[in-house]
């Protein structure tokens, strides 16, 4: 029996916790949004809420002024006086003075100016917060479908949902204060009256909560379909897609996919909206009947003279206010709950934890210079994968060495680079930097040692000068930029542009120029020459560059990197044969290691691949 009672208690507690869950979510979201808003501009935030708080008393003050005005006019009509009473003039003046202050303080200043300025500033901060978090995510985050859903929901809502939440909080606060004021003002007419009207607002609150849950359900459950739609829309906006669609006739297929995703989302949304429409008709009917009944209850007193016309007018005004504020507060609280479900996604995104553990006391080297690098029995499998990308791989790279990784597709070459950049940690073995486990080295400090040019690099639509100097915090040095462009073989096409090094790239900008694949690659290599990091990692850096330009670029790299570490990944054996240390990978294992002459003499995998490629040029 005791166990059964305990189980029942837990069930009750769980049910209570579930009932309080909406309030908990709204409280968490309120703290998050107010904290961000406070950091954005605490002065404007306080002034805005002070103006809103003042406005909550406007309806009551206006109603009191009207009561005094009507009662004063009633007395004046009954008396012999021909001069307008001072009380009537004062009440009339107060009525319009209150309206004047309401227009000046709230509408002109608070709503038109403060709200617009503050919302703009807040949305800027929210965008910075979102993208700053994006820059700190680990690579594995982007390979987890569940995390991708969190990111996509935050991406779609982070700009306007939190700022709207803050605005609705202000509106709700005004409604609650105005409701309390009307509640107190109606108390002299009967203690039961405010309580009755408070209960009257519950159906609207319930409808809003149900509607909010349903709207959230549509949005959250259809995230995969929404993701697909946004991908298709973005794909159809790309010049490369348009080009292929024209030639290959794939345009109708893209349109079909887009329309299918749109129809799916609309059909699900329409069903819920129809249900919401039916529910939303109930609260106004209940409220209208109750308010009419209350007004009818007091009519005999007015007709009999027990209640003045002014007092009855105040009663009607406060009834309207209480009903309106009650309905509005219920609507806004329901709206807050709905918004909290979206803001909670933003909060969940901000709370995404780093997947790579950070050391309590990270190691920092004395100087930023080429280090020794050792892979010691490294084994690695990608998250969600079932095949080892690297299997017990060991090798050493001396400081200042020229190293090349070769092998067929899927051999593990790029995986080595990702582990060296510490995008992931190996499941077995370790990577040593100057004898220290890479997991114990300060990651930002380690990245200062590296310069990378991946096969799939970003094409930045900035000016050419900005492209080459990107990431360099020092003052822009035109001579360094031009020298880097010359070594990368990019100076020729740069000088041909009207704007030269100040030329804007990207056709979406006025006078913007588009580059060929090879020109973009040369620009990326120029960025590497400009940065001149102690360890330069190049992954297929010249895949879109002709042989003559490639030869010149690598001669420049070899002359600049005589005292630095150069790590090269390439399928072109002409670009790797000059490396002092060539590491051959096969199916995630180290197959061979040595310089070109030694590997050719061994007549193993390297010699076979080299001969096959050389044969194609004969």
Predicted local distance difference test score (pLDDT) of residue 8: 47
Q: What is the pLDDT of residue 208?
A: 67
Q: Which residues of 426-448 are buried (b: 16+ CB within 10 A; e: fewer)?
A: beebbbbbeeeebbebebeebee
Residue 205 maps to a domain:
yes
Q: What is the mean pLDDT of residues 298-311?
A: 83
Q: Which of 216-225, 353-362, 449-458 has the lowest mean pLDDT?
A: 216-225
Q: Do residue 104 and residue 198 come from a single domain?
A: yes
Query: Which of 402, 434, 439, 412 lies closest to 423, judged by CA?
Result: 439
Instruction: Please report the pLDDT score of residue 405 as a whole number.
Output: 92
Listed range (225-229, 369-373, 473-477) with the worst mean pLDDT: 473-477
Q: Are residues 436 and 578 in the same domain?
A: yes
Position with higher pLDDT, 374 vs 223 = 374
The band of 216, judged by pLDDT with boundaries at 50, 70 and 90, is: low
pLDDT tens digits, one per residue of 401-441: 989 999 888 889 989 999 999 989 999 999 999 999 999 99
CATH classification of the domain holding 64: 1.20.1560.10
Residue 463's DSSP bridge partners are: 504
Domain assignment present for residue 526? The answer is yes
Same domain, 433 and 333: no
Residue 41 lies inside a defined structural domain of this protein? yes
The encoded tokens of residue 585 equal: 């990978």
DSSP 8-state secondary structure symbol assigned to residue 107: I
In a domain, 204, yes or no: yes
Predicted confidence at residue 12, as pLDDT, reads 46
**Closest by Cα among 491, 489, 456, 484 to 470:** 484
The reported pLDDT for the residue numbered 381 is 92
Quick one: 235 exposed, middle or buried, by C-beta within 10 A (0-12, 13-18, 19+)? middle
Instruction: Provide mean pLDDT across the span 220-226.
Output: 61
**Which of the four pLDDT bands, split at 50, 70 and 90, describes residue 11?**
very low
Is residue 120 domain-shared with residue 224, that is, in the same domain? yes
Do both 345 and 244 map to the same domain? yes
Query: 358: which residues sit within 8 A by CB, 6+ positions away?
Result: 443
Residue 413 lies in a domain: yes
pLDDT at position 395 is: 93
Q: Are residues 26 and 347 in contact, defined by beta-carbon separation less than 8 angstroms?
A: no
Which of 21-25, 219-223, 509-513 ranks highest by mean pLDDT?
Answer: 509-513
Q: Is the dihedral of CA 192, 193, 199, 203 positive or negative?
A: positive
For residue 85, what are the domain limits? 20-350
Same-domain status, 321 and 224: yes
Q: In angstroms, how far is the first alpha carbon of the chain from the final one? A: 91
| Sequence-ordered list of residues with C-beta below 8 angstroms from that of 363, at least 6 positions apart, any chain | 436, 440, 441, 442
- Is 80 exceeded by the pLDDT of residue 343? yes
3-state secondary structure (DSSP) of residue 452: strand
Does position 79 have pLDDT exceeding 80, yes or no? no
Quick check: is 146 in a domain?
yes
Q: Which of 247-256, 345-354, 364-373, 514-523 has the lowest mean pLDDT?
A: 247-256
Q: Which residues contact 306 (CB under 8 A, 6 or more apart)?
A: none
pLDDT at site 591:
92
pLDDT for residue 392 is more than 90 = yes
Strands 581-586 and 589-594: antiparallel
**Is residue 3 in some structural domain?**
no
Average pLDDT over residues 111-137: 81
- Whether the CB-CB separation of 416 and 405 falls below 8 Å is answered with yes
pLDDT at 316 over 90: no
Report which listed range, 52-56, 208-212, 308-312, is most confident.
Answer: 308-312
CA atoms of 179 and 329, how far apart (whole Å)? 8
Reference 370, options 394, 398, 396, 405; nearest CA is 398
| 392 is a domain residue | yes
For residues 201 and 116, state if they share a domain: yes
Helices (H), 56-144: 58-78, 86-101, 115-136
Task: Look at residue 259 in the predicted model and tell me its pLDDT.
Answer: 85
Inter-CA distances, 225 with 93, 156, 228, 348, 576, Å: 60, 14, 5, 21, 45
Do 503 and 540 belong to one domain? no
- pLDDT number for residue 175: 84
pLDDT average, residue stretch 84-110: 74
The reported pLDDT for the residue numbered 1 is: 46
Residues in the chain: 618
- C-alpha span between 601 and 481 (Å, rounded): 42
Residues 323 and 435 in one domain: no
How many domains does the chain divide into? 3
Mean pLDDT across the chain, nearest whole number? Answer: 81
Is the same domain home to 468 and 543? no
* pLDDT per residue as tens digits for the range 349-382: 888 888 888 888 999 998 888 999 999 999 999 8
Quick one: CA torsion of 145, 146, 152, 155, rounded to 10 degrees?
-130
Q: CA 348 to CA 29: how far, in whole Å?
A: 11
pLDDT at residue 9 greater than cutoff 60:
no
Task: Say what the pTM is.
Answer: 0.71
pLDDT value at position 52?
76
Q: Are residues 328 and 373 in the same domain?
A: no
Q: What CATH number did the domain enclosing 512 receive?
A: 3.40.50.300
Percentage of residues in the chain having pLDDT higher than 70 = 88
In this structure, are 343 and 381 located in the same domain?
no
Residue 590 confidence (pLDDT)? 94
């Amino acid at each position: 029996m005791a166990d059964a009672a305990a189980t029942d208690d837990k069930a009750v507690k769980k049910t209570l916790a579930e009932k309080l869950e909406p309030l908990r979510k709204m409280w968490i979201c309120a703290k998050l949004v107010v904290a961000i808003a406070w950091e954005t501009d605490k002065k404007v935030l306080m002034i805005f809420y002070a103006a809103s708080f003042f406005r909550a008393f406007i309806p009551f003050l206006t109603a009191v002024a009207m009561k005094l005005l009507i009662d004063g006019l009633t007395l004046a009509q009954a008396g012999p006086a021909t001069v307008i009473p001072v009380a009537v003039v004062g009440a009339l003046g107060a009525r319009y003075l209150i309206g004047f202050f309401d227009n000046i303080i709230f509408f002109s200043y608070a709503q038109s100016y403060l709200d617009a300025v503050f919302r703009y500033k807040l949305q800027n901060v929210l965008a910075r917060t979102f993208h700053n978090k994006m820059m700190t995510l680990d690579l594995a985050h982007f390979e987890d479908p569940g995390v991708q859903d969190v990111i996509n929901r935050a991406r779609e809502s982070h700009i306007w949902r939190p700022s709207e939440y803050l605005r609705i909080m202000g509106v709700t606060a005004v409604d609650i204060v105005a409701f309390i004021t009307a509640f107190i003002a109606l108390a002299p007419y009967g203690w039961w009256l405010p309580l009755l009207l408070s209960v009257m607002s519950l159906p609207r609150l319930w409808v809003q909560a149900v509607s909010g849950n349903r709207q959230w359900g549509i949005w959250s459950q259809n995230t995969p379909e929404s993701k697909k739609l946004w991908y298709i829309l973005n794909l159809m906006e790309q010049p490369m897609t348009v080009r292929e669609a024209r030639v290959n006739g794939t345009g109708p297929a893209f349109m079909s996919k887009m329309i299918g995703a749109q129809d799916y989302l609309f059909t699900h949304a329409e069903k819920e909206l129809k249900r919401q429409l039916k529910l939303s008709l109930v609260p106004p009917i209940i409220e209208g009947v109750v308010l009419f009944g209350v007004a009818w209850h007091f009519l005999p007193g007015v007709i009999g003279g027990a209640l003045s016309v002014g007092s009855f007018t105040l009663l009607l005004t406060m009834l309207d206010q209480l009903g309106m504020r009650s309905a509005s507060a219920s609507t806004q609280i329901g709206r807050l709950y709905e918004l909290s479900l979206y803001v909670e996604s933003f909060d969940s995104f901000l709370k995404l934890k780093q997947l790579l553990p950070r050391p309590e006391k990270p190691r920092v080297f004395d100087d930023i210079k080429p280090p020794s690098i050792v892979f010691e029995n490294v084994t690695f499998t990608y998250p969600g994968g079932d095949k080892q990308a690297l299997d017990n791989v060991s090798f050493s790279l001396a400081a200042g060495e020229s190293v090349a990784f070769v092998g067929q597709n899927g051999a593990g070459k790029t995986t080595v680079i990702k582990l060296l950049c510490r995008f992931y940690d190996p499941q077995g073995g370790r990577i040593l930097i100057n004898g220290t486990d890479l997991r114990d080295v300060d990651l930002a400090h380690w990245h200062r040692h590296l310069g990378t040019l991946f096969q799939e690099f970003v094409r930045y639509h900035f000016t050419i000068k900005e492209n080459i100097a990107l990431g360099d915090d020092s003052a822009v040095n035109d001579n360094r930029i031009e020298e880097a462009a010359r070594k990368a073989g990019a100076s020729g096409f740069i000088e041909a542009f009207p704007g030269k090094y100040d030329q804007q790239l990207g056709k979406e900008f006025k006078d913007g120029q588009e580059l060929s694949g090879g020109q973009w690659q040369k620009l990326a290599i120029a960025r590497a020459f400009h940065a001149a990091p102690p360890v330069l990692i190049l992954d297929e850096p010249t895949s879109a560059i002709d042989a003559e330009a490639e030869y010149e670029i690598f001669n420049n790299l070899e002359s600049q990197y005589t005292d630095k570490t150069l790590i090269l990944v390439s399928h072109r054996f002409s670009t790797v044969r000059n490396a002092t240390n060539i590491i051959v990978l096969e199916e995630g294992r180290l197959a061979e290691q040595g310089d070109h002459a030694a590997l050719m003499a061994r007549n193993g995998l390297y010699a076979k691949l080299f001969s096959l490629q050389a044969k194609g040029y004969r």
